[in-house]
Amino acid sequence: MALIVQKYGGSSVADATSIKRVAKRVAEAKRAGHDVVVVVSAMGDTTDELIDLAQQVTPLPPQREMDILLTAGERISMSLLAMAIHNLGVEAKSFTGQQAGVITDEAYGKARIIDVTPSRIRQTLAQGSVAIVAGFQGVNPTTNDVTTLGRGGSDTTAVALAASLMADVCEIYTDVDGVFTADPRIVPNARKLDRVSYDEMLELAASGAKVLVLRCVEYARRYGVPIHVRSSFTTHTGTLVTDQPAAEGEIVEQPIIAGVAHDRSEAKITVVGVPDVPGKAARIFQVVAGAGVNIDMIVQNVSVAATGLTDISFTLPATDGAAGTAALTEHQPDIGFASLQYDDTIGKLSLIGAGMKSHPGVSAKLFAALADAGINIEMISTSEIRISVVTRADSLDEAVRAVHTAFELDSTEDEAVVYGGTGR
């Protein structure tokens, strides 16, 4: 008998029929003798719809109210799922994040979990019931207000509960069969990975592969929680995210490349005509950081000798575009740049693989694949196990497919299946 944490994403509980299908799965695990804790997301695109609704009421919703609004989505799915499980003759009780003991800091909309005290969940399991927990939410103990963990945060709830309960595994059920070498919505012949290391999964998630949210992978690595990403629509084995070898003492040869990720959520700001003297870059990025904006890539042009001026470009989340631009404009007189250019029609492609540390020629092959496809590279950045490039947004899909093929990642077997979801 094991303690299993299962998480079902929005596309797996999109309507009543899906909720009943998930309930059957949960009941089967319970009847097989396991202790089962289930974390659920809001139904389908509920969270997006609630955000749209708030925008219709006011352009600037107060963050506290926004979090109260968004936590409602998961309360609907958790109670409906508990009812559906009950209907199958299995005891089940649902809990909000607060009731489940998910304690966070005070940052509305992007709260971090600081502690998990799941005594009510333990009690429920001890009584022989299934415990259902609303994902993506917690409580700030200072104000007693509910908080949300940021988009995709139910994955983090699941891993945090699995760590705290010392679960045997955390199963993340979604609308594809696991983690693939690229998003199957863009590359139909992407290949499913049987295993992937925490480091590679971290880079994939940080680079836009939203099948797992970045924070949940950070959490899993810190506490050594094995994650099994799989489909709620089939019984296929999915992808194991772990650093454990497949079998005791087994040495598996690492493929050089784990996959290709893409991200359309960033924008680029170019600060034009910056005096090329020490301290200007520091000022620019102090101002941007002061506005609470995280930046990603940075490129500085060679300065034009005659003018002593240079351009500095950087990327940031498009949702922070207005804040970043406003902060820089306010400080234009003291920084002394000529103008700002804002571009939100960019895309980012990232190639990830632990093997690139020890294999020369990976960048050369990446750039050649993009050149052959006629795709221009605007910015480049690297880590030990990742190379990222910025392209035009409308050539990103083509770029991903070209790179996937160039690195021989295309599957020769059946096409990857996307079972549900709207891709929103």
Which residues of the shown chain bind ligand ADP in the complex (CB under 6 A)?
9-12, 41, 152, 174-176, 179-180, 182-185, 209-211, 259, 418, 421, 423
Does residue 178 bind Mg ion (CB under 5 A)?
Answer: no
Among 42, 78, 121, 240, binds ligand ASP (CB under 6 A): 42
* Closest CB 33 distance from ligand ADP, rounded Å: 26
CA atoms within 13 A on the CB side of 254: 19
152 or 238: CB nearest Mg ion: 152
DSSP code for 196: E
Among 101, 152, 238, 321, binds Mg ion (CB under 5 A): 152
- Residue 92: which of ligand ASP, Mg ion, ligand ADP, none does it interact with, CB under 5 to 8 A by kind? none
Residues 1-20 within binding reach of ligand ASP (CB under 6 A):
9-10
Whole-angstrom Cα distance, residue 190 to residue 55?
Answer: 37
Residues 8-27 within binding reach of Mg ion (CB under 5 A):
9
The three-point CA angle 47-53-58 to 5° equals 125
160 touches 5 (CB < 8 A) = no
Run of H or E including 18: helix 16-31
- Residue 238: which of ligand ASP, ligand ADP, Mg ion, none does it interact with, CB under 5 to 8 A by kind? none
Does residue 73 bind ligand ASP (CB under 6 A)?
Answer: yes
380 three-class SS: strand
Residues whose CB is less than 8 angstroms from the CB of residue 217 and which lie 6 or more positions away in sequence, other chains included: 198, 201, 202, 205, 227, 241
* Closest CB 10 distance from ligand ASP, rounded Å: 5
41 or 181: CB nearest ligand ASP: 41
Q: By Cβ distance, which residue is nearest to ligand ADP?
A: 9
Residues whose CB is less than 8 angstroms from the CB of residue 346 and which lie 6 or more positions away in sequence, other chains included: 266, 267, 268, 315, 378, 390, 391, 392, 393
Q: Where do contacts with ligand ASP occur on this chain (CB under 6 A)?
A: 9-10, 41-42, 47, 73, 135-136, 151-155
